[in-house]
Homo-oligomer: A and B are copies of this chain.
Amino acid sequence: MTVQPRPLTGRLDQSSMRRANLALILRHLQRAGSGTRSRIALETGLSKATLSNLVVELIDRHLVREDGPDRGGGVGRPGLTVSLDGRAVAGVGVEIDSEYAAVSAVDLQGTVIRETEAPVDVVALGPEATLDRVARLIGRTVLSLTEARVHVAGITVSAPGVIDYTTGTLRFAPNLGWRDIPLVERLTDRFSQPFPQIALENDAKLAAIAEYASGYQQQGVEDLVYLAGQAGIGAGIVANGQLVRGWSGFSGEVGHLPLDPTGRPCACGRTGCWEGLIGLRALLRRAADDSDPIHDPRRLLEDRLTELHERAVAGDARVLEAIHDVATDLSRGMSIVVDVLNPEVVVLGGYFAILGDLMLEPVRAGLATRRMDDGSAVRVEPSRLGMTSTSLGGAIAALEEVFRDPLLVPVQARG
By a beta-carbon cutoff of 8 Å, the part of chain A in contact with chain B is 2, 4-14, 17, 20-21, 24, 44-46, 162, 171-172, 221-223, 235, 237, 239-240, 242, 244-254, 256-258, 261, 268-270, 332, 335-337, 339-344, 370, 372-373, 375-376, 378
**Contact partners of A268 in chain B: CB under 8 A:** 372
Q: Is the CB of B256 within 8 A of A339?
A: yes
Query: Contacting A162 at CB < 8 Å: which of B44, B171, B332, B373?
Result: B373
12 examples of A-B residue contacts, CB within 8 angstroms: A7-B8, A8-B8, A11-B44, A12-B17, A12-B24, A235-B340, A239-B242, A244-B341, A246-B342, A254-B339, A257-B336, A270-B372
Query: Contacting A251 at CB < 8 Å: which of B12, B251, B340?
Result: B340
Q: Which residue of B lies closest to A7 (CB)?
A: B5
Q: Which residue of B lies closest to A249 (CB)?
A: B342
CB distance from A258 to the nearest CB of B (A): 7
Q: Do A375 and B342 contact each other (CB < 8 Å), given the known contacts A12-B21, A20-B12?
A: no
**Contact partners of A376 in chain B: CB under 8 A:** 248, 250, 253
Specify how many copies of this chain sit in the oligomer: 2
Q: Is the CB of B340 within 8 A of A252?
A: yes
Q: Is the CB of B247 within 8 A of A344?
A: yes
**Contact partners of A332 in chain B: CB under 8 A:** 258
Q: How far is the CA of A341 from the CA of B249 in the complex (A)?
A: 9
Q: How far is the CA of A227 from the CA of B5 in the complex (A)?
A: 29
Query: Contacting A10 at CB < 8 Å: which of B7, B24, B248, B258?
Result: B24
Query: Contacting A341 at CB < 8 Å: which of B171, B246, B343, B370?
Result: B246
Q: Do A257 and B370 contact each other (CB < 8 Å), given the known contacts A20-B8, A250-B376?
A: no
Q: Which residue of B lies closest to A45 (CB)?
A: B11
Q: Which residue of B lies closest to A377 (CB)?
A: B248
Q: Is the CB of A343 within 8 A of B10?
A: no
Q: Which residue of B lies closest to A17 (CB)?
A: B12
Q: How far is the CA of A222 from the CA of B172 in the complex (A)?
A: 23
For A20, A256, A269, A370, the residue with the greatest tally of chain B CB atoms inside 10 Å of its CB is A20
Q: Is the CB of B261 within 8 A of A246?
A: no
Q: Is the CB of B254 within 8 A of A340?
A: yes
**Contact partners of A244 in chain B: CB under 8 A:** 223, 239-240, 244, 341
CB distance from A52 to the nearest CB of B (A): 14
Q: Which residue of B lies closest to A375 (CB)?
A: B248
Q: How far is the CA of A17 from the CA of B269 in the complex (A)?
A: 54
Q: How far is the CA of A7 from the CA of B13 in the complex (A)?
A: 16
Q: Is the CB of A250 within 8 A of B172?
A: no
Query: Contacting A375 at CB < 8 Å: which of B46, B162, B242, B336?
Result: B162
**Contact partners of A223 in chain B: CB under 8 A:** 244, 246-247
Q: How far is the CA of A162 from the CA of B376 in the complex (A)?
A: 10
For A5, A14, A341, the residue with the greatest tally of chain B CB atoms inside 10 Å of its CB is A341
Q: How far is the CA of A370 from the CA of B376 in the complex (A)?
A: 29
Q: Which residue of B lies closest to A221 (CB)?
A: B247
**Contact partners of A237 in chain B: CB under 8 A:** 340-341
Q: Is the CB of A372 within 8 A of B269?
A: yes
6 cross-chain pairs, A with B, having the tightest CB-CB distances, nearest first: A246-B342, A250-B342, A247-B344, A251-B342, A250-B376, A11-B45
